[in-house]
Chains A and B, each alone.
Chain A
């Protein structure tokens, strides 16, 4: 029978996830079973600890507040298209929160028994509901509920795995063939290989591939003394060579190497040894083609002799990052690997810059990465914030030494710029004399900040205190770190200033969960993800960890994890913050990759409902942690 009311419901639901994932026919199978519920303002939908309803709810009109009954705090407000009351769907438990109409509302009550089979059939729906459930309850670990929700028939959706089609991707091989004759002396051969930095050399006879010599042959046959160093190539080469056509796919190449137990394949014009060799494919090339091996990339950075070459590797790192995000690899792992790769690139830039200097450094030094890089939270190319600290020298040598390190720093910052790190607009870089100091000078500066904290000092400290040793002497950085901690201990009021600084960030959302966007300037009407959401969490973590005198943890979510251990009664909040900082960083990275920028400013219209919801769920942690700061450090007294 024709029923315009259930059509009306279907039309509404299909606009919002997870229902938008469903085909219309599927949606229409259960819309006639949905009840329309009207709630007057301030009436209760369900109370805490009341028995689970047979329904969960979608807000059609109005707003429903989810309230923690102990203190009456509204944890979340669900507005049009939001889902709540999912607990009975996840677990057979009583409600934990109270749901109350903040204004008069119309709800769609969806029968749980009817919806369960749909959840099982559509993986995306299950995932979305878990996500939504977590967002309502602020429970970052609701993944544990996933199993119950999906039942044991849950299947991995191959379309979501983001796997790249390795089977059809062709290998890229080096076409610059280094070759010798069978009569070449092996010492000459070895010198040539070292010079070209290659692991295998082709032996040609009358222009055709005849044999191959790899590093392994030297080790097994020459160094062992079996073959004298004066022998010729013929004596140690493997022959005949195993040849393949050049249109080999990555998978074929891997299989060929495994089958023959070799690490190099010779590619010829027609794939037989009877035509010219056109390339050599090493295991290393295959790995690079696969692009999923960070170890290979780290190795590759070390081989770079010019900053130019590093640029190509950075591209590989970005591809890797994209792949990780697509495959939903946990953020903690992703950021660890990517940070390490970024770190390797930076280290190589420093090594190359050192080579360009006429003389080795006069004294020990350390290159400090600051800000997001120091916290291992820099996934995209963002600004470079760095400093250089060198060992204390006598007064007479001080300026001479600084001049040397400033020149070095200039080379390094240029190099970093070349591989994609923008110069710091505030010139907080080691090439600035203010940030190229001896360890004693740094101690002096930091003492000044800590004992006499104005807004500028607080800002500087908040960037500087997240430093991480990128290259050089660990002793120097340790010395500086213990100085800072000692000083903070004697001037606890500094923490209050730091906390107060952390609360200066503007709020992410206004009343009614509306995003607060920038009112003017270049990014008018955009949402400032960094300043409004990420920075408050990062700043709070720094203050709290400093107040516990914990050294050596720079990363924001690791700081929160540590805090959760230190203060078990606040563990839930800290873990939520840890989760939120990861989620926000991921979000920023995704946005950045999408728009090829730093991901800081977000156009809200371009976000879908799901993304907006994910973003909003992190805001409650921001607000809660700021409350903790203001109470604990009594920031009111310095404001």
Chain B
């Protein structure tokens, strides 16, 4: 509490938004679906190159509230370029990591964060926060990968070997894979998959939904 003053304004605003509780019903909640493109899969060493996020509320997605940010990074891994296609000195306009975090937190506020393999995206963001002297994310989060498993039968689960990629979800729900491996493109696929999953699970309350997801949450 006494440390609070040392954080920048945008963090304080973010933290304050958690003073309000979340709506009880799933449909009344705001979800922020996000995806990060990174230099690699090592949570400690690799860095965020791009973040895409969109807002999902009342089962609608207003594209105007969706955005995709590109982040300046010194660390670079030529190996992953072929996946995300983001060059170290590309022509896209880049912002600093701190600016990106500010923008993300402004959008997130206390809403529920949704991603595919959320643990990974959250860890990447948390490490970025840490590098910039900020605490960890405070949001409740949902993972489309683990939620998907709640929709299928036990038999199917074994068949899937407990690993499901975003490509799998796109195929299952017939979502066009246009812009796959761009942050916003992947966020969109995640969002649509999330809607389909909700339709299957029909959770009544947000807590119910979080609980069901929790079994597969490892952190």
Contacts and interface: CB of A to CB of B under 8 A. Distances in A.
Contact of B63 (A34, A40, A104, A106): A34
Given A4-B184, A61-B174, A106-B192, A9 B199 contact: no
Contacts of A37: 59-61
Contacts of B92: 2
Given A1-B67, A4-B68, A5-B61, A38 B195 contact: yes
Given A8-B188, A38-B59, A104 B64 contact: no
Interface in A1-49: 1-9, 11, 31-41
A200 to B, nearest CB: 71
B176 interface: yes
Interface residues of B, number: 24
Given A36-B60, A109-B60, A5 B188 contact: yes
B184 A104 contact: no
A13 to B, nearest CB: 13
Contact of B64 (A4, A33, A38, A109): A33
A34 B196 CA distance: 20
Contact of A4 (B61, B185, B192, B199): B185
B54 to A, nearest CB: 7
A309 to B, nearest CB: 61
Contacts, number: 65
B166 to A, nearest CB: 15
B179 interface: yes
A11 B178 contact: yes
Nearest to B69: A1
B63 A35 contact: yes
Interface in B39-79: 52, 54, 59-64, 66-68
A35 B174 CA distance: 20
B176 A104 contact: no
Contacts of A9: 63
B59 A35 contact: no
Interface-central residue, A2, A5, A106, by most chain B CB under 10 Å: A5
A5 B67 CA distance: 9
Nearest to B183: A4
Contact of B54 (A5, A32, A38): A5
Contacts of B36: none
Contacts of A32: 63-64
B182 interface: yes
A479 B182 CA distance: 81
B63 A36 contact: yes
A114 to B, nearest CB: 12
B184 A3 contact: yes
Contacts of B63: 3, 5-6, 9, 31-36
A14 to B, nearest CB: 13
B199 A41 contact: yes
B184 A39 contact: no
Contacts of B188: 4-5, 8
A28 to B, nearest CB: 12
A3 B66 contact: yes
A45 to B, nearest CB: 11
Nearest to A33: B64
Nearest to A34: B63
Interface in B165-185: 174, 176, 178-179, 182, 184-185
Contacts of A3: 63, 66-68, 184
Contacts of B62: 35-36
A40 B182 CA distance: 27
A36 B185 CA distance: 14
B179 A35 contact: no
Nearest to A40: B199
A33 B66 CA distance: 11
A7 B182 CA distance: 13
A8 B195 contact: no
Interface in B79-97: 92
30 contacts: A1-B68, A2-B68, A2-B92, A3-B63, A3-B66, A3-B184, A4-B52, A4-B184, A4-B185, A5-B184, A5-B188, A8-B179, A11-B178, A33-B63, A33-B64, A35-B60, A36-B60, A36-B61, A36-B62, A36-B63, A37-B59, A38-B61, A38-B192, A38-B195, A40-B59, A40-B199, A41-B199, A61-B174, A106-B195, A109-B60
Given A5-B188, A37-B60, 14 more contacts: A3-B67, A3-B184, A4-B52, A4-B68, A8-B176, A31-B63, A33-B64, A35-B61, A36-B60, A37-B61, A39-B59, A40-B199, A104-B199, A109-B60
Interface of A: 1-9, 11, 31-41, 61, 104, 106, 109
What are the 8 closest A-B residue pairs judged by CB atoms, nearest first? Answer: A36-B61, A4-B179, A5-B63, A38-B59, A38-B195, A6-B63, A4-B184, A37-B60
